[in-house]
Amino acid sequence: MGILDRFFKKKEQENLWTKCPDCKTLLYVPDLKKNLKVCPKCNYHFPMGAKERVDSLLEQEDREVLFENILPTDPLNFKDTKSYKDRLKKAQESSGLTEALYVVEGKLGAKRLILSVLDFKFIGGSMGSVVGERFFRACERALERGIPHVSITSSGGARMQEGILSLMQMAKTALGVGLLREKGIPFITVLTDPTMGGVSASYAFLGDVILAEPKALIGFAGPRVVEQTIKQKLPEGFQRAEFLLEKGQIDMVVHRKDLKETLLQLLP
């Protein structure tokens, strides 16, 4: 076996194992995926990609991916250490997505719905113009078809590379939810780690029912920013899902393995 063969074999073996960030247990990746990417030792919920989320909830047949023709541009010609165009290209290549929001119409059990999922791998799941537009159209689609809209969030907030255009999506997404509410179309949100910034301050907290995964970080500004601002030590577990449930900010904390059954019970 040559040097290159040994190198690639070693890399392949390394990719088969990962360490749980919480309990530090070494986990076999194929087994972890079968367990919905939840540590079997401590129940730590690893991040899940948007397509993995869809596969974990919707039936395989009769799915339709929506709004993939709506694609991001660079309206401000923004550049920091890299150009925004380069960041978009890299995010698309690494995530396998065209944007941070992935929208699918399909069946959860026998119940048809619209499922919109944010993927943190795509520029931190940030909400730019395309995310806002796709989300609004998802609401319109749910309204037209008279079916529920379930939204799974994972985001650092608004996308700074789009400036005020990004912040405008907070109002736009809230308007979309308002249209559903006027017609009595159910809208359920599932908050995962993390759900922060402009997403938490808009549609994430507008669900008729608000669910969250265990220990998900949920809030507007992060804990360190809050501590530095108020010059006080924050309570244990501040901004975690269990803390928000205790304070009445969300309705349920749901383990990932129970999410499908919980949604089936909640949806009409």
What pLDDT is attached to residue 222? 86
DSSP string covering 142-188, please? HHHHT--EEEEEEE-SB-GGGHHHHHHHHHHHHHHHHHHHHTT--EE
Distance CA 150, CA 260 (A): 11
Q: What is the mean pLDDT of residues 176-191?
A: 98
Least confident of 10-24, 89-103, 135-149: 10-24
**Would you say domain 47-266 falls under CATH 3.90.226.10?**
yes
Chain segment 98-146, per-residue pLDDT in tens: 999 999 999 999 999 999 999 999 999 999 999 999 999 999 999 999 9
Q: Kindly list the domain boundaries of the chain, sorted by start residue.
A: 1-46, 47-266
